[in-house]
Amino acid sequence: MRSNFSILKADALKRSIFRNFSPALADAVEKDNFAHLSDLFCRLYVTERENEISRRRVMLDPTSAEGQRMIAEQIERENIDFSHQFAMEHMPEAYIPVTMLYIRMKINGVECKAFVDSGAQVSILSEATAQRCNLMRLVDKRFQATVHGVGGMKKMLGKIHTCQVQIENQFFTCNFDVLSDHSIDILLGLDILRRHQCTIDLKNNCLKFGDSASTPFLGDAEIPKRDPTTGESSETVVVDSAKLASLIALGFEEEAARSMLIQCGNDLEMAAANLFSSNAAKS
C-alpha cells in the first residue's frame, strides 16, 4: 500500500483518475496522510466484507424470497458476463462502430454525399442542399407539411417531383421531399432504391443501380460526422473528462477514447473493453 501511496502522490493524473472513484482516498493522498488512507481502506474492506457475508447468508436461506431473488440476479449476471466474454473473443468486430452507408452523387453538377437508408420510406433533401444545387425553384409548396420521424418533428417545405441525379457516368430521375432543418444533405430512401432496382451489396461494398451503374460506399474518413437517425452531431454528447483521462492513461489515443465514450454513453468499463478488443482485432 505504501508504494501505491507514493505513486499516487507523485502523479497528478493518476490522482485525478483515482478521485473519480473515491474522492476521500484522493484527498488523503493529497494531504500526505498515509494513516488516514490506511484507515479508509480498512473501513472500506470491513464494510464490503460485512455486506458480502450478509448477502451470502441471505442467499443460503432457502426460505428467503430476497435470497432467491439475489441468486437469480447472480445467475443472470454470470450469464451476461459469459455472453460478453464469448462475444469479445469470437466476434470483437461487434464492438467497433459500424460505418454508415454514404455514396457520392451529383445534382445539377454539384458534388454531394448521400446517406443510403433503406428503412426510410421517402427520399429527402435538406433546404441548404436544395439551394446549393439550385433546386428551390422546383419545390412544389402545395406539399408543405409537418412530418414526424426518429429525429422528431420537421417542417417539410414541399416536394421536388423530378430532378436529374448523376451516379458515376449514369443519370437517373429522382424525386425528393425538402425539409427545412434536416442536417443530412441527401437521404436516399426506399422509394428511389425500389424505383431504380438498387442493391446494397455489402460484400463488394457498393450500391448497384440495376445493371446500369455501381458506386462504392464512402470510407469512414469521408462521411459527415453526424448521426443520421437524429440529425445531430455525435459531438453534442458531453464526454466525462475524468473517464477520458482514465482511457488516455491506459495508452489509448484521445480521439479513439473520446469516440468510444460517446458510443458507450460514458460507460468507462465498456469503453475500455471495446478499445482493448478493437486493438486486439487489428493486431
Q: What's the CA gap between 121 and 201, in Å, rounded?
A: 20
Q: Each residue of 27-36: pLDDT tens digit?
A: 877 777 778 7
Q: Each residue of 251-261: pLDDT tens digit?
A: 788 888 888 88
Q: How confident is the model at residue 18 (pLDDT cuts 50, 70, 90)?
A: low
Q: Each residue of 130-181: pLDDT tens digit?
A: 999 999 999 999 888 877 665 567 788 999 999 999 999 999 999 999 998 7
Question: What domains does the chain contain, in order, with CATH numbers?
Answer: 2-90 (no CATH), 102-233 (2.40.70.10), 237-282 (1.10.8)
Give phi and psi for 44, each to the nearest 5. -60, -40
Average pLDDT over residues 101-110: 93
Element (H, E) at 35: helix 34-59
CB 23 within 8 A of CB 16: no
Place of cell 437521404: 187
Q: What's the CA gap between 118 and 99, in Å, rounded?
A: 15
pLDDT at 4: 67
* pLDDT value at 189 more than 60: yes
Contacts of residue 245, Cβ cutoff 8 Å, sequence gap at least 6? 13, 16, 17
Contacts of residue 157, Cβ cutoff 8 Å, sequence gap at least 6? 127, 139, 141, 144, 178, 179, 180
Q: What is the CB neighbour count within 10 angstroms for residue 227? A: 18
Q: Each residue of 192-220: pLDDT tens digit?
A: 999 999 999 999 999 999 988 999 999 98
Whether 117 is a known active-site residue: answer: yes
Q: What's the CA gap between 116 and 216, in Å, rounded?
A: 12
Q: How confident is the model at residue 231 (pLDDT cuts 50, 70, 90)?
A: very low
Catalytic residue among 11, 32, 117, 211: 117
Q: Each residue of 33-71: pLDDT tens digit?
A: 778 777 877 887 788 888 888 888 888 888 888 888 888
